[in-house]
Amino acid sequence: MTNNMLQPSNAVLKDQLTVFSNELTEELKNILDYWLNHTVDEVNGGFWGKIDNKNQVTADAAKGSVLNARILWSFSAAYNQNPDEAYLQAATRAYDYIKVCFVDNEFGGVYWSVSYKGDKLDTKKQVYANAFTIYALSEYHIASKLETVKEEAIDLYHLLVDKSYDGNKTGYFEAFTREWNPLDDLRLSAKDANEKKTMNTHLHVLEAYTNLYRIWPDEGLKQQIETLINNFFDHFIDAEAGHLVLFFDEEWNRRSNTVSYGHDIEATWLLLEAAEAINNQEMIKRVNRICITIAEATIQGLDADGGLWYEYEPAEDHLIKEKHWWVQAEAMVGFYNTWQLSGNDKYLQLALDNWAFVKDKILDKQNGEWFWGIKADGSIMPGEDKAGLWKCPYHNSRACIEIIKRIKALK
């Protein structure tokens, strides 16, 4: 949480924040209730791998390590904020399933996916998925108080540094075979470029290491966090444009010009969170400045209705006018964070406007949870998951948890 905490300056602002907090508290409960009531796989164990917008389960869908790690984090974090025993039970269910089905006891790390029955499916070692497992284990340790969980997170951290860290040029390589050997197809998803170093993976390695540092303030881990933040300063942040560069080759040569508005605004508060966690004052000051620059550039992607568009391709001058659920969740936190940093009330209003958009267009008031997103014409994006390999209770629950925590600290 940012050190530059602002105090609400007037009664109207205080009322706005109270309403904001109350609504997000209710929405957080709604999100978690959805996952408790609709996603638990009582037949095969763990959680269902795929559910559509009408809450129809695809019983034989693969189960992803990212989904399960994000479930583990979400319920652990919710329990740590509000110790409801049902949340801890759900977190423990996710932890047990990850340990039994996803952890590779022979070569280390977690598999990308398993079958609906929990058998090995895609055994590649995607650094992104392993980072989310560290992130989730660290949070679950706080909830469960189990030292073995902390040790598992530390062991996985050491494995990532050993197997995927580039000791020559810094940064983390994207993916490996099950045995941690080189892999031809490094892509995280079909839409990604096949490059060795990506902003998205580095952002979430940073997030994972920040959470691990909270329970294990190790000097080597601190140095890794500082190096990752410097990777953003030196490579990922285009300071002139105010956007993030998404893809690089092994030598840190730029391989992309795509603007991802959701990642831009997400990076602002995660970078600050990391710098504050290690209490590096010089980095905090530098992150503060660049965060405001990035947030200001992100405004270019805002529609008049308060929603944040998906991506922009400068070469074709093409704006993808879809509005995805996770982009909105990050906009709420990112603009709120920028308000705290800058004292400029326009950023708080952007966060409030975005939440109003979410309530109007993204919340599924009939079947629960959030829609994947809407198209340019305002219609619901068809054929997308309500729960799946990528559709998890992480971005939206995290946004609620983070803003509730920050408003409570203001009070």
* pLDDT beyond 60 at 5: no
Positive or negative CA dihedral for 242, 245, 246, 252? negative
Instruction: Return the minimum-mean-pLDDT range out of 179-193, 245-259, 287-301, 396-410.
Output: 179-193
**For the whole model, what pTM was predicted?**
0.96
User: Mean pLDDT throughout 252-267?
Assistant: 98
Q: What percent of the chain has pLDDT over 70?
A: 98
Percent of the chain with pLDDT over 90: 95
Q: Is the pLDDT of residue 4 over 60?
A: no
Name the residue with tokens 């949070």.
Answer: 139
Q: Which pairing describes strands 125-126 and 120-122: parallel, antiparallel, or unpaired?
A: unpaired
Residues shown for the chain: 411
CB atoms within 10 A of CB 183: 17
pLDDT band at 9 (very low <50, low <70, confident <90, very high): low
Q: Which domains does the chain have, with CATH numbers?
A: 11-410 (1.50.10.10)
Per-residue pLDDT tens digits for 122-160? 999 999 999 999 999 999 999 999 999 999 999 999 999
Spatial separation of the C-alpha atoms in residues 132 and 28, rounded to whole Å = 21
Q: Which of 288, 317, 286, 283 is nearest to 300 (CA)?
A: 317
Q: How far apart are CA 129 and CA 68, in angstroms?
A: 10
Q: Sorting pLDDT into bands at 50, 70 and 90, what band is 366? A: very high
Cα–Cα dist 349/338, whole Å:
11
Per-chain mean pLDDT for the chain: 96
* Structure confidence by residue, pLDDT tens digits, 265-312: 999 999 999 999 999 999 999 999 999 999 999 999 999 999 999 999
- Model pLDDT, residue 301: 98
Using the predicted structure, report yes or no on whether residue 1 has a pLDDT greater than 70. Answer: no
Q: How far apart are CA 156 and CA 365, in angstroms?
A: 39
The predicted model gives 78-101 an average pLDDT of 98
What span, in angstroms and rounded, lies between the C-alpha atoms of 330 and 278?
23
Tens-digit pLDDT profile for residues 209-245: 999 999 999 999 999 999 999 999 999 999 999 999 9
When pLDDT is averaged across residues 335-364 and rounded to a whole number, the result is 97
**pLDDT given for residue 191 in this prediction:** 84
CB of 64 within 8 A of CB of 49?
Answer: yes
Q: With 70 as the cut, is the pLDDT of residue 8 above it? A: no
pLDDT band at 11 (very low <50, low <70, confident <90, very high): confident
Pairing of strands 120-122, 318-320: unpaired
Q: Residue with structure tokens 């205080």? A: 14
For 183, the 3-state DSSP assignment is: coil
The count of other CB atoms within 10 Å of the CB of residue 304 is 6
Note the Cα 93 to chain centre separation in Å. 21
Q: Which of 99, 196, 199, 190 is nearest to 144 (CA)?
A: 99
DSSP 221-275: HHHHHHHHHHHIIIIIEETTTTEE--EE-TT--B----EEHHHHHHHHHHHHHHH
pLDDT at 3 over 70: no
Task: Kindly provide the b/e burial profile for residues 232-253, where b requires at least 16 CB atoms within 10 angstroms of the residue's own CB.
Answer: beebbbeeebbbbbbbbeeebe
Distances (CA, A) of 195 to 182, 183, 200, 235, 251: 13, 11, 12, 14, 11
Amino acid at 407: I
